[in-house]
Amino acid sequence: MTLNNFFQPNSCDRRQFITATGVLVVGGLISCSSKHDDTRVDAQQVPQKHIPIPTEPITMRVCVGKMRNRNGFELDGEHIYLTKEGWKYRSSNTLSPEIVDGAMWIHISATHTMIMLEKIKRCTGKISLHPRSDISPHAFDVVVHVPMEEYIPGVIAGELYSHWHPNTFAAQAIAARSYAAAQHLQRKNASHYDVSDGPSSQVFLGDVTLDVAHRAVNETRGVLLTWNNKIVPSYYSACCGGMAAAASDAISSSHLHNIPPLQGRSGNDVCTSLGVHQWTVTRSHRNLKKRLSQWSDTLTSRPLKKMRSIQSIIPVQTNKHGRPIKLEITDRQKNAYNISAKQFVHAANTSFPSIPTPNQRVWSSCLVASRSGLDIELRGVGMGHGVGLCQYGAQALAGKDMSWESILKWYYPSVDIESL
């Protein structure tokens, strides 16, 4: 299979992707956040040990806001902020916080409305605010504490389109639960939160009323993906572009990723029959070169420090499924520079204050690029890192009446599906 017809990106958002590729999706869009990418920062903070199956119910700690000044946070109409002297808020009967080791805990078993800058979120239950003096005297993180089975509906309602098939929702619920459980068990003693609420981790909308999401969670309550009696940190992405990625290439080299369910299935995926899987992105050659150089300068080895104007980018190493893991950039002096496909996407999408932000992201690492006048045209397939479940593919399979069990066994080879 030639890569010439493929393109793809990494982190992005599904609405941006649909807009960029000109694909129309019929039906409601619950969330514009989407999937996974290489930008899954939290996902990349990987496990040091294999993760045992939990023996107790898990309450997820979800970071829903990172407040960095005095003005941003409002809880149930109460403006709360942090100064060098401590927490400030208008005294009221509705808020009876407890301060533990500097963190503010608010225990109310009701639905909260939080306003964080432009974002509004409604969540039920306990909230904690954690000072981030490492950033500034005013900075703090907002964390909500949500029992796993109440957390998952808010994830899958944000990760999938509301009109998608119930079996897609059920498969996604199990993948999201296994990913969340793995994150919780790895981070519970190391951080004040397990996951964030955006695509760098997995989307969480807060309390949702979407019926298909609640039904999927009820149908799969307590079900996890395991392998060899350990939890599988089940990464997933929007579209694999037909070629599966291995977690050890696309997420991190942690030994936790060297298990069969995270090596990728063999064989082409059904998502290649969907128009959504291909993309083309045009970048000014100056902008792309500058961005890659700036990224390179952040590394000690500065791998691209001598690179001149970019002429082409081609895959020079692929995994066993045909997905690029290394790209070669050739400049106008015919010098070649190798870079991992994951790093390229990260560099191409990173924001630098001194460089104008491009209109379109590079959607995945499955790409080739060539010079066209003053532009670089990147053509690729897929959206996101390509590890594990492919959301568009899962939806196509569910449309063919495939069960959620079969969908999960296709995307996570050799996986066990266990109900706790």
Instruction: Enumerate binding residues for Zn ion (CB under 5 A).
Output: 240, 269, 271, 390, 393
User: Is 358:376 a contact under the CB 8 Å cutoff?
Assistant: no
Q: How far is the CB of 23 from Zn ion (least distance, A)?
A: 15
Q: How far is the CB of 271 from Zn ion (least distance, A)?
A: 3
Please give the DSSP secondary-structure letter assigned to residue 277.
Answer: G
- DSSP E strands, 261-395: 278-284, 310-318, 324-331, 336-340, 363-364, 367-372, 375-381, 389-390
Task: Please give the span between the terminal C-alpha atoms of the chain, in angstroms, as a whole number.
Answer: 42
Q: How far is the CB of 264 from Zn ion (least distance, A)?
A: 10
Q: How far is the CB of 172 from Zn ion (least distance, A)?
A: 14
Q: How far is the CB of 210 from Zn ion (least distance, A)?
A: 24
Instruction: Tell me whether residue 106 or residue 240 sits nearer to Zn ion (CB atom).
Output: 240
* Backbone CA torsion sign across 249, 255, 258, 261: negative
Instruction: Tell me whether residue 362 or residue 390 sits nearer to Zn ion (CB atom).
Output: 390
Between the alpha carbon of residue 248 and those of residues 39, 225, 255, 367, the distances in Å are 15, 18, 8, 19
Instruction: Tell me whether residue 341 or residue 390 sits nearer to Zn ion (CB atom).
Output: 390
Nearest-angstrom CA–CA distance, 2 and 152:
39
Instruction: Tell me whether residue 191 or residue 318 sits nearer to Zn ion (CB atom).
Output: 318
Instruction: Tell me whether residue 35 or residue 285 sits nearer to Zn ion (CB atom).
Output: 35
Nearest-angstrom CA–CA distance, 6 and 11:
17
Q: Residue 324: helix, strand or coil by DSSP?
A: strand
Instruction: Tell me whether residue 141 or residue 269 sits nearer to Zn ion (CB atom).
Output: 269
Instruction: Tell me whether residue 149 or residue 269 sits nearer to Zn ion (CB atom).
Output: 269
Q: How far is the CB of 321 from Zn ion (least distance, A)?
A: 11
The count of C-alpha atoms lying within 13 angstroms of the C-alpha of 145, restricted to the half-sphere facing its C-beta, is 15
Q: How far is the CB of 396 from Zn ion (least distance, A)?
A: 8
Nearest-angstrom CA–CA distance, 296 and 371:
21
Q: Which helix (H) or strand (E) holds 170?
A: helix 166-187
Between the alpha carbon of residue 342 and those of residues 9, 169, 317, 404, the distances in Å are 9, 28, 12, 29
